[in-house]
Copies of this chain bind each other. A is one copy, B any other.
C-alpha cells in the first residue's frame, strides 16, 4: 500500500497544530471549555497579546474554534472549540501521551551523559 500521494495531508494537519502556542491554546479550551481572552492569556504566562490574538484568529479561520463577541465595554470575547476542532482531540491526546514518555527518555539520556562526564 503506497501512501506517498497522501503525505501532504499530514502537512495540512500539522499546519494547524504547530506554532509555539496553538496546541496549548487548544488543550486549554478542550480541558476548560469556553474561555475569555483574558483567561487564556492568564493561563499562558509569556504569550503576548499580539501573538494570542494572531493564533486565535488563525484557529478561527480554520473553524477549529469559535469566537463570540459581546458588545460591551469593557469588551468581552469568548472562545470555544467547535465540533470540528474537537476532532483534533485524538492527535492532541496522542501527542500528550508520547510527550510524557519522551520526557522520561530524554532525562535518561541526559543522566547517561552526565555519568560519562564524571568518569
Give the interface of A toward B (CB within 8 A): 2-4, 6-14, 16-18, 20, 23-24, 27-28, 31, 43, 62-63, 84, 87-88, 90-92, 94-96, 98-103, 105-106, 109
Contact = CB atoms under 8 A, between A and B. Distances in A.
B3 A96 contact: yes
Given A7-B24, A13-B96, A13-B98, 7 more contacts: A7-B27, A7-B28, A10-B24, A11-B20, A62-B106, A90-B98, A91-B95
Secondary structure call for the A interface: helix
A18 B94 CA distance: 15
B103 A98 contact: no
Contact of A87 (B7, B11, B92, B98): B98
